[in-house]
Every structure is written in C-alpha cells, then in structure tokens.
Amino acid sequence: MPWTLYRRELQKLRRSEKGSVLLLVLFWGLMISVLGVTAYYVANTEITQSSKKYEMAKALYLAEGGLERAIVELKLGIRNGWDDEIAGADGDLGTEDDGILSFGDQVNCYSHGYGDDYDQGGVDYWNRFLGHYDVRIVDGRRPGESPEKCNRVIVGSDGVSTKNFERRVEAEVELWELKLPEALVYIDGGTVDAKFDGNAFLLDGKDTSPDGSPGAGPNVPAILVSSWQDANTIKEGVFDYQCDKILGVGNLYGHDPCDPSVADLGGWNPNDFNPNRFRTKDLPKLEEMVNHRIPGGTYAGQYTIGAPDEYLITKATGSLHITGPLTGYGVLIVDGDFIVTGMARWDGLIIVKNEARMSGGGCQFHLYGTLIILNESGLDNAQEFQFSGQSDGFFCRENIVRIQDSVQTLVVNTWRQSSGL
C-alpha cells in the first residue's frame, strides 16, 4: 500500500477514537465521587455514633454521680434518721421514705478550669455545662413486710446530658445495724458448760450506768442461751447461795426457791428470725470495721485500749490471757479463748469465739456491757463459761447503744442501670 494511502487510513482510525478517553475519565471520576460520598457518610456516621456514645456515657456518669452523692448524704444522716435528708413526696407509696433529697430536685453539673493565660495573670476561665441529675427516694419495703422492720430505700438517679441523652441508675440501700441480744451474757451454739465458783462474783442484768448508778433501761436476763435444755442445765448447776449472784429478769434480788436469771430464746430455731438472737452473719461486717489489732497471748502489764471518749473496735488475733491491769473501751473480738485472772475492766462489747473464763484471781474484773460467746469451731463440744472470784458483770445499755450508733453504716445490696428515665 502506498505510503500516502496508509497515512490517510491511520488518520481515519485516530479520528474514530476521539471521546473514548473522555468516557474513561468520566467513569473514574464517578467512581471516585461515589467512594468519596461513601467515605463521608461512613465518617459522619462514626462521628454521630461517637458523639452519641459520649453523650450516653456523660449521662451515665451524671446519674452515678447523683447516686454517690445521695448515698453520702444518707450516710451522714443515719445518726439522727433520714427525715431531714429527704424532702418532698412523690405520692406513689405514701411513706416517709418517698421524696427527693434535700439538696434539690434537679442539680446542674459543670466542668470548669483555667486556660493558658491564667499563669500570666489573665482571666482565661472556662465553665462548661454538662447536664443535670435528678435523685429520688422510694421506700424499699418488700411484699408483706411491715414498715417498722424495713430499713431499706431505693435510690434512683436520672442523668441527662446537654443533648438530652438519658441514663438511670438505681440502688437498694440498706441501713446496717448491729443487733445485739438483750442479755448480759449470751451463749450461742454447742452445749453450754457453765461453772460458778464461790459467792463473790456477780452477774447483774439490771441496767447499770458506767459509773455504777442505775440505768434508765429495762432489765434483761443475766444469761441467755439458745435452748431451754441448756437453760435448765445451767440453773441446776447453781447452788442456793449463788442465786442472788445471777440477777435480772426472772430473779430480781432473790426468789425463793432458787431461780437464777437464766433465759432461753424460746423454741429457738436457727432458721427463724429472732430479734434477741445474735446474727453471726453480722460478725464479718463488724470485723471489717476493726481499727485496732492486738496479738494473742498473755498480757501482764498495764494495758489500755481506747478511752471513754474513743471507743475502738479491737480484734485479738488469738486467745487472750489477762493477768495484769487492763482497761478497755468499745468492742473486743477474741479469736480464741478469753481468760481473765487479774484486774481488768471493759466498757462495751466482748465477743469470744471459743471459751470464756473470768476468775479475777485475787483482783477484780468488771464488765459494763455485754459478753457474747460463740462456737466458731462448729463442733458439738461444750462451750465453757466460767465466772467466779472477784468478777462482776453489769448489763450497761448506755455502752451498748453507743457502740450500735457508732457502727451503723449503709450497705448497697443491688445496683442496676437503664437507658432512660
């Protein structure tokens, strides 16, 4: 083919391909646009989701902050009741525990701080509104429970962020109180082996003040045990000349015939609720509050625990043998035997996890409060309780009430959250 003809055909071919590149460019431009729009929507969705999660978290933190503040306010009010911490009424249950806390129906929350210019004397101060929380109280009575036995409330806190995202947290808060038997000496578990030697000792269930003067409270049994069999066994072991040494309900300064003040829980069943029984489940809670520890062993020298204006919760990490002058105030928990053969005085509560023997020796041992003897070993062995010599015990309601008031606390039983009000 001549060269001229070849060039002419080539030019025709090139003219026929005009516009194909434009189509290719348009196609790829469209693809890039689609990818860009998709990326934009994905990024925007992520930002929206992140913002939503941030607002939900902020609302949750606001609700939890309100709940924590409510619990603190209630803790501060347990000494004199919750009435002055709770205001208003929601009208749902119509009880004294319904309403809002006295710090307000709605509390606004802010974050604030100082900027970079503050160090140079500027006024670069920022204050950002975060949202609010609303705390309400309702009575925590369970079905069939009488109001006087209910010491629980439901605290609900609603957190609302600045963009109106809402979270709610609720907690069942219970007032924990140390329930103590109405007795001078309480022996729980196992078979009781009680021994009383001589007639110089005294166990007196008549309410007595720490200074020895009569108290204003009612009288209680000198000794309280679980079963009537144990009560009869103890009574049978008391001689006639010792009857006026075990005084209280049932024997106020002499009955004829001999009838020492020894009582039982009246058909006690470990599965039944008895307000006069020591709840052993309370012991771990009490041990959590221990603020003074001493090792087990023999204490022969002058030793003082606490003070009249400072009641301590003391735990002995083994058996104690007191031979020298000891003075103590508050709660004493003994992991083992408690033996006193010397001069000692304790104002408050003594809890012994095994045997208790107080003879006083030639000196005197004085107890103003309550002595609890437990069978922690779980064995069916005899719980030995010996009281003799120059030893005396007086039920002191004033000391016991002081201890009960000092250990009151709030326990959060349940905690739950929901997405809205």
H/E element holding 70?
A: helix 20-77
In a domain, 2, yes or no: no
How far apart (Å, rounded) are the C-alpha atoms in residues 54 and 243?
75
Last residue of one domain, picked from the residues 143, 176, 209: 176
Q: Does residue 150 share a domain with residue 73?
A: yes
415 and 180 in contact (C-beta within 8 Å)?
Answer: no
Buried b / exposed e across 401-417, counting CB within 10 Å, b at 16+?
ebbeebbeebeeeeeee
Which residue range(s) make up the domain with 136?
54-176
Tokens of 236: 């049978």
What is the C-alpha to C-alpha distance for residues 203 and 219, in angstroms, rounded to an integer?
A: 12
Pair (273, 377) in one structural domain: yes
Distance CA 152, CA 371 (A): 29
**Three-class DSSP category at 120:** coil
169 and 195 in a single domain? The answer is no
Considering the domain architecture, whether residues 233 and 97 belong to the same structural domain is answered as no
Domain boundary residue among 158, 176, 194? 176
Q: What does the pLDDT read at residue 192?
A: 75
Looking at 126, 145, 176, the residue that finishes a domain is 176
In a domain, 382, yes or no: yes
Residue appearing with tokens 């609303």: 134
CB neighbourhood size of 421 (10 A): 12
Domain count, the chain: 2
Tens digit of pLDDT at every position of the chain (421 positions): 565 665 666 566 555 555 566 667 777 778 888 888 887 787 777 776 777 888 888 888 888 988 888 888 888 777 666 666 777 654 444 455 677 777 777 888 877 665 555 454 554 555 677 888 888 888 777 777 766 667 788 888 888 888 888 899 988 888 888 888 889 999 886 677 888 887 788 899 999 999 989 888 888 889 888 777 778 888 888 877 787 888 887 654 444 456 788 888 764 444 444 556 777 788 898 999 999 999 999 988 888 999 999 999 999 999 999 987 889 999 999 999 999 988 889 999 999 988 898 886 656 889 999 999 887 655 455 677 888 888 899 999 999 999 988 888 888 888 887 654 4
- Does 258 lie in the same domain as 191? yes
- For 160, the token pair is 């609302």
Cis peptide before 275 (omega within 30 of 0): no
Please indicate, yes or no, whether residues 342 and 293 belong to a single structural domain of this protein: yes
* 390 three-state secondary structure: coil
Q: Assess contact for 199 and 388: CB atoms under 8 A.
A: no
Give dist(CA 367, CA 88) in Å, integer. Answer: 46
Query: How much is the pLDDT for 92?
Result: 46
7 belongs to a structural domain: no
Same domain, 225 and 317: yes
52 to 66, 82, 166, 323: CA distances (angstroms): 21, 37, 11, 70
DSSP 221-275: -SEEESSHHHHHHHHHTS-GGGGGGEEBTTBSS--SS---SEEE-SS--TTS--T
Q: Does residue 267 lie within any of the structural domains? A: yes
**Residue 43: inside a domain, yes or no?**
no
158 shares its domain with 202: no
Query: Which pLDDT score, from 0 to 100, does residue 15 have?
Result: 59
In this structure, are residues 116 and 124 in contact, taking their beta carbons and an 8 Å threshold? yes
Give every CB contact of residue 155 below 8 A, 6+ residues apart in sequence: 67, 70, 71, 74, 135, 136, 137, 170, 171, 172, 173
CB under 8 Å to 362, separation ≥6 — which residues?
A: 389, 390
Q: Give dist(CA 396, CA 219) in Å, integer.
A: 10
pLDDT attached to residue 246: 86
Within a domain: 41? no
